[in-house]
Amino acid sequence: MRCLSRFLPIIAVSSLLLAAGIAQAAGKAPGHLKKSTAGALDEASYTDSGPEPLLAKVFDAIEGNRLELAMQQTDLLIKAYPNFRLAHLVKGDLLLARSRPLMAFGEGGGPASGEKVADLRDEAIVRLKGYRTKPPADYVPRYLLQMHPEQKHAVVVDTQKSRLYLYQNDNGTPRFIADYYITQGKLGAEKTREGDKKTPIGVYHVTSSLPRQKLTDFYGSGAFPINYPNDWDKRQGRNGHGIWLHGTPSDTFSRPPRASDGCVVLANQDLDTLSKSLQVGLTPVIISNSIEWLSLDDWQNERTSLLKMIEEWRQDWESRDLGHYARHYSQKFSSDGQGYQSWIEQKRKVNAAKSWIKVATGNISMFRNPGKEEYVVVTFEQDYRSSNLASQMKKRQYWIKESGRWKIVFEGAA
């Protein structure tokens, strides 16, 4: 503390407390993230979205004891986002600090409850953490192993950072487009049951689009349901329903980091922008506790390894060698109510009636689970032909690591 002016308390409380939370992540990547060759985060390649750039300038000015500049930046922030409650609270602090020292963040908000002020402080911390700790531009989320050509974009959510990242399918390689602040469940992530007020962790897809006209104002400018619980969730006994990406009420710019009943909530203008990239039935929505990033080289190696396993599975199916084919399936496998042994016996009888089999797989997508359970969701268009049957379907498989090898634990129609 180097100055004792009347502005010191607001610097100490409104800025330094926030800075303490931000400093835990600022200037360093997560422990599993390797440094880029430049040794620094390449922020120039990221699209600034939302109020974070202006918000960062406000707190930079406060930290530098340039309170009038902070006020000017806050006014710009409010002009751009009139319903941004955090900006109004900071302005209240700045105005009150002109007349007397402030002893707590949010005093300028008047009779607001302590819980509401704490929510806004938490929002400031996660917004600025997300803005100041971008991943290197040459790294991608580990989960986006392969998008097929029709999948134009993918969504990856980091619940710890309250951040949603949008990636474009650039000829098979995920390319960062934008990121947005989000709200998650009141009680955090890893949903397991109906009503637990948690956001699920896993690999999901957008299943429909609900326009504003069909919803109450609570959901803002629209909603995009996702397929929670997916097949994996159901196998694990998880239940619940109604997990959506949706907006905020018309009088609310954003909600606190933990405020939903399990949905992922965005500011309306962010949802409106994001919605242009969402394809019903196609866009993956991967929700993670904390995103694991890979260099493009490591990502490519993991992707190639899995594609090789899928190709071996396809060839072994065509060979009609049941022993080779069965090695691709987990002892825990089940499908259509059948366990591993009964399913293998059925396959043995089916193969005995055939003189040849041909299988083609197209438009393969692969997404790795971001949670504690190690599995990959593989979806593809299957063209099956044999001496006595021909069929086409869209198939989805769940591959798990078992004894050091990827094996199929579930498959069925997508």
Alpha helices in 228-374 (DSSP H): 231-235, 268-275, 296-319, 322-326, 340-352
Domain 139-293 is in which class? Answer: mainly beta
Mean pLDDT, rounded, of the chain = 87
The residue with greater pLDDT, 98 or 243, is: 243
Contacts of residue 4, defined as CB under 8 A and 6 or more positions apart, other chains included, come to none
Could you tell me the pLDDT band of residue 106, with boundaries at 50, 70 and 90?
confident
User: pTM for this structure?
Assistant: 0.87
What is the band of 109 on the pLDDT scale with cuts at 50, 70, 90? low
Residue whose tokens read 């302005």:
91
338 pLDDT band (50/70/90 cuts)? Answer: confident
Q: Which residue has the higher pLDDT, 175 or 16?
A: 175
Query: Measured between alpha carbons, how far is 135 from 145 in angstroms, rounded to an integer?
Result: 18
pLDDT, tens digit (0-9, with 9 covering 90-100), for 266-311: 999 999 999 999 999 999 999 999 999 999 999 999 999 999 999 9
Is the per-residue pLDDT at 329 higher than 70? yes
More reliable by pLDDT, 114 or 86: 86
Is the separation of the CB atoms in 175 and 167 below 8 Å?
yes
Domain ranges of the chain: 8-132, 139-293, 295-413
Which pLDDT score is estimated for 54? 94
| Average pLDDT estimate for 54-75 | 92
- Of 80-94, 101-115, 239-253, 378-392, which range is least confident? 101-115
The H helix count followed by the E strand count for the chain is 11, 20
Residue 43 above 60 pLDDT? no
Among 387, 368, 378, 363, smallest CA distance to 410 is for 378
CA distances (Å), origin 143, targets 66, 112, 360: 43, 41, 25
Least confident range of 122-136, 145-159, 181-195? 122-136
Domain 295-413, CATH: 3.10.450.50
